[in-house]
């Protein structure tokens, strides 16, 4: 594999979307509500319904226009009068006030002033979404993706995340892109995924920038496509994502999608090392380039894959090498394959271990077990690994499954 084959690492979030929610797919920050949807000060997710008086001055009995009912509902909720707030939000939503529908959806979803009712929450969120409340679109999509409410599933979720994206919700764009890329419940469409990631990137969502770049970058594509990839990597780097800086540095070093410039490459790698979301590859390659003193070197960057079942089965395989990508990972694991029998003999009943091994000049130089086995088992695994012959130069870390596969997979859950 050539130097210009820049590693296409696993897309930042797992594409096993069948069980994830927006919170899990996008991080805890994805579930933080913005000012227009955040429950009023003092409103607890699981608080008991209060009385019928409250700040609304008598609750829902007070006549009000739809928008005014929403405001009165917020006032009632602030003093924990959730029963009155529910009635006011209902009146507001019935009158066509989208923010009122949004608040009503949250009340039903979280059981404030009433029993939790996912169906009514979904209906209220849908009305709010149709009225231009982007965060309500996201929350309706979240219900569907979690299998909650009417018409559950990723297909329904995709539609609502798309509407949320159109309404300016960057994280909705990213989640819709995940679904389009994976084809989970919707037709797989890489071009649509790229467009959605780029839309998220334009809204300053750095993960969207990074993923857009990952899907666009290909040394075999035309210059314009790779220029878009480099622009996305630059945006991710500017947003503090170290991996974006690493990708940007690699592009500058190879001259793919941008002018070849070792100085700009080194600058990008240094930024990766000091970024808020640091990428250790940046630190490693910075040292590598500084030691080279201007000479051209093969960059030692990380390639990763969640699962490898050929040769010796491993999970979360990550290798830093001079060659990158799936083919390079395959060459490493094919070198380990011949010692599978020795590894299995170490724990015939099945075991999972977190293993690291370093290799060069056709041999495994060092090996260690960080987690999973007792001293006897670990020594056996290290001895077996050192018999492997790998033609690459670098190091790998993985959760290695040895012996009985079913038992090893059960042990893996405990290891993780």
| pTM for this entry | 0.73
Mean pLDDT of the region 339-363: 96
Give per-residue pLDDT as tens, 239-264: 999 999 999 999 999 999 999 999 99
Give per-residue pLDDT as tens, 182-233: 998 899 999 999 999 999 999 999 999 999 999 999 988 999 999 999 999 9
Q: For the domain 22-183, what is the CATH superfamily, name and number?
A: Tetratricopeptide repeat domain (1.25.40.10)
Q: Specify the pLDDT at position 240.
A: 97
Mean pLDDT of the region 160-170: 96
Q: Specify the pLDDT at position 21.
A: 35
Q: Percentage of residues in the chain with pLDDT exceeding 90?
A: 80
Q: Indicate whether 49 pLDDT > 80.
A: no
Q: Specify the pLDDT at position 107.
A: 96
Mean pLDDT of the region 310-337: 93
Residue 363 is encoded by which pair of tokens? 């041999």
Q: Indicate whether 175 pLDDT > 60.
A: yes
Q: Specify the pLDDT at position 61.
A: 53
The angle formed by the CA atoms of residues 216, 310 and 183, to the nearest 5 degrees, is 40
pLDDT band of 325, cuts 50, 70, 90:
confident
Place of tokens 């149709």: 130
Place of tokens 């797989």: 188
Beta bridge partners of 351: 402
Own/partner long-range contacts of 406-414 (Cβ < 8 Å, ≥24 apart): 406/350, 407/349, 407/350, 407/351, 408/313, 408/347, 408/350, 408/351, 408/352, 409/352, 410/350, 411/350, 411/351, 411/352, 411/372, 412/315, 412/352, 414/352
Q: Specify the pLDDT at position 301.
A: 96
Q: Indicate whether 338 pLDDT > 50.
A: yes
In 253-402, DSSP assigns E strands to 301-308, 314-321, 351-360, 363-371, 394-402
Look over the chain and give the mean of its residue pLDDT values, rounded to a whole number.
Answer: 87
Q: Indicate whether 45 pLDDT > 80.
A: no
Q: Rounded distance, CA 254 to CA 267, Å?
A: 14
| SS3 call for 68 | helix
Q: Specify the pLDDT at position 58.
A: 38
List, as one string, the DSSP characters of 22-48.
HHHHH-GGGG---TTTSPPTT--TTPP
Q: Percentage of residues in the chain with pLDDT exceeding 70?
A: 85
Residue 173 CA, chain-centre distance (Å), reads 13
Q: Indicate whether 25 pLDDT > 70.
A: no
Q: Indicate whether 414 pLDDT > 90.
A: no
Q: Specify the pLDDT at position 34.
A: 37
Give per-residue pLDDT as tens, 60-119: 456 899 999 999 999 999 999 999 999 999 999 999 999 999 999 999 999 999 999 999
Q: Indicate whether 320 pLDDT > 70.
A: yes
């Amino acid at each position: 594999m050539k130097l210009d084959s820049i590693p296409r690492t696993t897309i930042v979030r797992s594409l096993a979307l069948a069980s994830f929610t927006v919170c899990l797919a996008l991080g805890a920050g994805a579930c933080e509500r913005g000012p227009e949807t955040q429950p009023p000060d003092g409103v607890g997710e699981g608080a008991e319904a209060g009385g019928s008086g409250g700040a609304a001055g008598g609750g829902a009995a007070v006549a009000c226009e739809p928008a005014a009912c929403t405001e009165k509902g917020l006032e009632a909720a602030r003093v924990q009068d959730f029963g009155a707030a529910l009635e006011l939000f209902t009146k507001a939503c019935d009158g066509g006030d989208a923010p009122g529908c949004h608040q009503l959806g949250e009340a039903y979803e979280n059981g404030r002033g009433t029993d939790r009712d996912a169906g009514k929450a979904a209906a209220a969120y849908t009305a709010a979404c149709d009225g231009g409340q982007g965060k309500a679109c996201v929350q309706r999509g979240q219900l569907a993706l979690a299998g909650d409410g009417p018409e559950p599933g990723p297909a329904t979720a995709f539609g609502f995340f798309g509407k949320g994206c159109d309404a300016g919700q960057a994280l909705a764009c990213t989640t819709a892109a995940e679904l389009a890329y994976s084809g989970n419940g919707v037709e797989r469409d890489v071009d649509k995924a790229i467009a959605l990631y780029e839309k998220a990137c334009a809204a300053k969502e750095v993960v969207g920038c990074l993923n857009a770049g990952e899907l666009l970058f290909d040394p075999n594509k035309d210059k314009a496509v790779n220029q878009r990839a480099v622009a996305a990597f630059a945006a991710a780097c500017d947003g503090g994502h170290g991996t974006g800086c690493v990708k940007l540095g690699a592009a500058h070093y190879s001259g793919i999608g941008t002018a070849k410039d070792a100085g700009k490459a080194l600058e990008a790698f240094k930024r990766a090392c000091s970024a808020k979301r640091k990428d250790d590859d940046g630190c490693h390659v910075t040292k590598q380039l500084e030691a080279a003193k201007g000479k051209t070197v093969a960059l030692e960057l990380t390639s990763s894959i969640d699962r490898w079942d050929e040769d010796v089965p491993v999970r979360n395989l990550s290798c830093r090498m001079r060659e990158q990508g799936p083919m390079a990972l395959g060459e490493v694991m094919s070198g380990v394959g011949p010692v599978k029998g020795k590894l299995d003999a170490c724990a015939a009943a099945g075991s999972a271990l977190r293993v690291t091994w370093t290799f060069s000049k056709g041999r495994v130089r060092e090996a260690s077990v960080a987690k999973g086995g007792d001293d006897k088992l670990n020594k056996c695994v290290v001895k077996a690994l050192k018999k492997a012959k790998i033609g690459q130069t670098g190091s790998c870390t993985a959760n290695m499954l040895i012996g009985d596969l079913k038992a090893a997979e059960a042990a893996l859950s405990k290891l993780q």
